[in-house]
Structure 1
Amino acid sequence: MTAGAAGTADSTPPQAGVWNIANVLTLTRIALVPVFVWLLFLDGGGWRLAAFAVFAVASITDKIDGDLARRRNIVTDFGKIADPIADKALTGAALISLSVLGELWWWVTGVILVREIGITVLRFVVIRYGVIPASKGGKLKTMLQVIAIGLFILPAPFELDPVRWAAMAAALAVTVVTGLDYVVQAWRLRHQGRSRAGGGAGAGA
């Protein structure tokens, strides 16, 4: 009986520790944010290229750490919290910096940041009823934001401006649409959760 219990315990997969490769990559992305901002504000095309390189590397780690966490089964509560914070820190810092430099309208930065922060807060508000999963639209939104921001960071002739603004317009549109979709999902999740709670109370009574 003891041996059987021990065998059962041994077969249970160990809990992933906080210090794993996925979380290290997430922390690296956060650490690269101030480096990226510093390089972006330096004069000269060479520094601008360096800022673009840092932004690209940081953005790539977002894809890598998520894939590693799922593939190696090392998803942690810390990673679930730190990963979106790292994403918002990188894109938020880039958008604000570009607006400070006068290269991106402030209202564009404002709309995107309000959506990103608002949806993050909304997830925590309705977490008692369930988790709002990341949608394909959300992943498309992230990809378009990275491409648009990257084009604005990349030093290029003014002839590329229409491409930059077209990419940013697409990113902005998808950002707003997916934000509204998350609000609808949150409302449904909250409504269903309250309905279940009400039904349970009625059955118990």
Structure 2
Amino acid sequence: MSGNAGSRADGAAKGAGGSKGGIWTPANVVTVARIVLVPLWLLAAELAGAGAEGAAPGPALAVFAFFVVLSLTDKLDGYLARSRHEVTTFGKFLDPIADKLVVVVALCYLLEAGSVSSWVLLVVVAREFLVSGLRMVVASRGVVVAASNLGKWKTATTMVSISAILLARGLVGAPATFFWWFGQLLLVAAVVLTAWSGVDYFVKCRRYVTDAEEA
């Protein structure tokens, strides 16, 4: 009897998403590491001059590889959380912040380097502010808005476009031209998806914003 009770207790803890390590699950450690690595990536990019014309191919390619690692850790922490059944509230809060930090810092750097338009950064940042505000309003009504597929595609497309532009800076000749234009075209698609996903959030949650507060 006591053994069965213990098994049921363990199962209940797992079912509730509990973890013996508290918030410091492997997935959350990866997420925190990604946030810590963002300023290190920016420092490496500034020192390497990866966004400047005539930058040395070696350092520029290293900065590109560093960014790819940062981007892929998003998939890693998600896989760890799901496979180990350790999805935590802390992780749900921190993971999207890490994604936004990676994208916005990279776009700010590329904007300073003259590799992207200021309109790209405006659309991305404005969308994040508006959607974050919307989520807070909806959360105050006791409703949780799950991440949509549009939002996931937006993030993936933006990261791939930035990666392509950084890669172009480390190449010469035809390959550099190809990846440059590939990255720019993909960035246009990312901006469209960014605006579209933002509108989609507001359409889905419009009744929570337009309804009068209950007395």
Give the one of 202, 207, 215 matched to 1:183. 202
Unmatched 5+ stretches in structure 1:
none
* 2:52 aligned residue: none
Aligned residue pair count: 196
Task: Give the partner amino acid of 1:140.
Answer: W
1:152 corresponds in structure 2 to 165
- What CA RMSD, in Å, does the superposition of the two structures yield over aligned residues? 2.5
* Structure 1 contact 98–104 (Cα < 8 Å) conserved: yes
Percentage identity across paired residues of the two chains: 38
- For residues 23-77 of structure 1, the C-alpha deviation after alignment (integer angstroms, 9 at most, x for no partner) is 0110111011011111222233222211111111111110111122122111111
Say which is worse superposed, 15-24 or 120-129, in terms of deviation.
120-129
Give the Å deviation of 1:164: 2.0
Residues 1:37 and 2:42 are matched in the alignment: yes
Q: Which residue of 1 aligns with 2:24?
A: 19
Contact 2:165 2:183 in 1 (8 A): yes
Whole-Å Cα distance in 2 between the matches of residues 2 and 169 of structure 1?
61
Q: TM-score, normalised by structure 2?
A: 0.81
Closer, same or farther: CA 2–152 of 1 in aligned 2, 3 Å: closer
- Secondary structure of the corresponding residue to residue 114 of structure 2: coil
Instruction: Work out whether residues 28 and 77 of structure 2, in 8 Å CA contact, stay in contact via their aligned partners in 1.
Output: yes
| Contact 1:115/1:179, CA 8 A, preserved across alignment | yes
Aligned residue for 1:22, secondary structure, equals: helix
* Per-residue CA distance 1:152-181 (angstroms, 9 max, x = gap): 111234522332221111111111111100
- Cα distance in 1, alignment partners of residues 67 and 204 from structure 2: 31
Query: In 2, are the aligned partners of 1:39 and 1:48 still within 8 Å (CA)?
Result: no
Which stretches of structure 1, 4 residues or longer, exceed 6 Å deviation after superposition? 1-7
> Aligned in 2, Cα 1:111/1:12: closer, same or farther, shift over 3 Å?
same
Q: Is the 8 A contact 1:62 1:87 kept in 2?
A: yes
Per the alignment, residue 80 of structure 1 pairs with: 92
Q: How does 1:1-205 map to 2 (within 5 A)?
A: 8-14=8-14, 15-16=18-19, 17-41=22-46, 42-43=48-49, 44-129=56-141, 130-154=143-167, 155=169, 156-157=171-172, 159-160=177-178, 161-190=180-209
Moved more, 151-160 or 70-79: 151-160
Relative to structure 2, which stretch is displaced further, 91-100 or 154-163? Answer: 154-163
Q: TM-score, normalised by structure 1?
A: 0.85
| In structure 2, distance between residues paired with 1:77 and 1:5 | 27
